[in-house]
Copies of this chain bind each other. A is one copy, B any other.
Amino acid sequence: MAKIVDIKKKLVPIEKKTSKSSENYDQLIRAGLISLTQKGFSSSGIEEILKNAKVPKGSFYYYFKSKEEFGLALIDSYSNYFARKLDKFFLDETLTPVERLEHFIKAARISMARYDFQRGCLVGNLGQEMTILPGSFRQKLIDVFTDWQHRTELCLVEAQKSGLIHSEIDCKTKAEFFWIGWEGAILRAKLERSAAPLDLFSKDFLMSLK
């Protein structure tokens, strides 16, 4: 069983907001995240993002040299937002570790339904597009999945210590399995505009922990 201390060391630290975080910057990031979670990178136009952000073109180039640099900032922002979300669930000591996972899944389901299953996972969307994305995106996206997997592994290790999941489960592998399959479930939920694929995948996954 992996040591929790070792896993914690591997986690990417959640960044604090910097002075760069002006209102325009935040609005660009927000509009960019909405566009990329819906349409991916290639089909997201800067013009449309500027329009949705209600920000002049000059502001964009004040913060970002190129669309590539903007894309990298969006991955960072999404990754930070998501790491905070995972911590909120996975470090909630009022719940058992298995309940934490269940609550995370339930919240993701509610969040997808709120946007009529039109918005997926930014990291999953970009992974799918990788063939045509700037090469600088690849390692960054892999690192994000590795980080999410470490946080999930930590939760599974706690569950295993409490005897809530089978003692023979390799928590590192199981956490990776979860994120591989969960991205597939999000993809299918977007296609079917339904929570059914999320429910089917998570039910089977949670059963497999026993």
Contacts and interface: CB of A to CB of B under 8 A. Distances in A.
Interface in A32-79: 38-40, 42-43
**Interface SS of A by simple majority:** helix
Interface in A105-128: 118-120, 124-125, 127-128
Contact of A127 (B132, B145, B173, B190): B190
A43 B128 CA distance: 12
Contacts of A130: 190-191
A5 interface: no
A185 interface: yes
Contacts of A39: 42, 129, 131-132
A118 B131 contact: yes
A193 B142 CA distance: 11
A188 B183 contact: yes
A201 B180 contact: yes
Nearest to A190: B130
Given A43-B43, A191-B141, A180 B180 contact: no
A200 B177 contact: yes
Contact of A187 (B127, B142, B200, B208): B127
B180 A200 contact: yes
Interface in A136-189: 138, 141-142, 145, 173-174, 176-177, 180-185, 187-188
Contacts of A208: 204, 208
A173 B202 CA distance: 12
A39 B188 CA distance: 18
A197 interface: yes
A192 interface: yes
6 contacts: A43-B43, A128-B129, A138-B193, A142-B191, A145-B191, A180-B184
Given A43-B132, A127-B190, 14 more contacts: A42-B43, A120-B128, A124-B187, A127-B187, A127-B188, A128-B187, A130-B190, A138-B191, A173-B200, A174-B204, A180-B181, A180-B197, A183-B184, A208-B208
